[in-house]
A and B are shown apart, each in its own frame.
Chain A
Amino acid sequence: AQTVTQSQPEMSVQEAETVTLSCTYDTSESDYYLFWYKQPPSRQMILVIRQEAYKQQNATENRFSVNFQKAAKSFSLKISDSQLGDAAMYFCAYLPRETSGSRLTFGEGTQLTVNP
């Protein structure tokens, strides 16, 4: 079974600084998707970034980028120029590359605090 581990329950960063959130996963599959979701105090789950395992290039979305290390099964999220609105719970998630109906496997989450 696939597992996703986020070893940092809490992280903090100063506004405008950079922070990296860690995520490791375990799978026997060779093709899959990885995601980072953000859950602010409103509790709405928001997709931050996604990575397709067969793509070697790391995904980027504006201030958000990932460091995808397939061999190490590591998928960290880097947030640059942190803003107060980035404060949220961040979840790493794994999805097998199957037909529709595949389930997401979530990590435990990392609570990010942004200090002004």
Chain B
Amino acid sequence: DAKTTQPPSMDCAEGRAANLPCNHSTISGNEYVYWYRQIHSQGPQYIIHGLKNNETNEMASLIITEDRKSSTLILPHATLRDTAVYYCIVRVRQGGSEKLVFGKGTKLTVNP
């Protein structure tokens, strides 16, 4: 089962910041939070990941709460091409294996 919960859908105006929340209250201390997005009929695209500290790259910023029970992905200036399903994922490592456990994600629609 997915270790994260996200709202099923969100809307954002073009040019504005999109803030996508994610709850991961059962995350373990050494588990990373990953964000991917999937545009219709394509493979998931990696966006960003973090463990404890806030992270920023050319695509987005990731804000992780101090207790690590939730995080927010920020797209600073959303464009129409950012319309996609956004997945917040906890990377699970068990024994010698590892995997990403996806939920249903948040469908972000950027409106003109």
A binds B: no
Interface residues of B (CB under 8 A from A): none
